[in-house]
Amino acid sequence: MVEGVWLWLTLLAIGSTTILTRGSFVISGEGARLPPALQRALRYAPAAALSALIMPDLLLDAGAFDPANPKLAAGVVVALAAVRSRNPWLPFIGGMCVLLVLRKGFGW
């Protein structure tokens, strides 16, 4: 465990990556305009990035590919809830319920 002053230094180091990445082009401003083709390509960045964070959690179990796992089943429920319902809490409640029932109720 990183502790004390070192922990605060570590937090500052992690925080500096927030400013470095998010601030990069916004802070340097107009001198950093990207070519239009690149700008268009970058419109796909958020969808690709979110999915690149989501899918490994849904499809991997302890680092190995395993499509038959309770998190994927819960993920399907989350996706359905998010598509069908406008209630912002439903995906959270539905997904967690399915995951907990499968894991605790069925020991999956």
Is there binding between residue 69 and another protein (CB under 8 A)? no
Q: Which of 36, 62, 65, 107 binds another protein (CB under 8 A)?
A: 65
Selected from 14, 62, 105, 107, the binder of another protein by CB under 8 A is: 14
In this chain, which of 5, 36, 63, 106 binds another protein, going by CB under 8 A?
63
- Give least dist CB 106 to another protein, A: 14
Token pair in block for residue 45: 């960045």
From the list 71, 82, 76, 81, the residue with the least C-alpha distance to 108 is 71
Per-residue tokens: 56 = 């490994």
The b/e string for 21-31 (b: 16+ C-beta within 10 A; e otherwise) is eeeeeeeeeee
The CA distance from 84 to 99, in Å, is: 19
Question: Least separation, in Å, of the C-beta of 23 and another protein?
Answer: 3
Closer CB to another protein, residue 88 or residue 106? 88
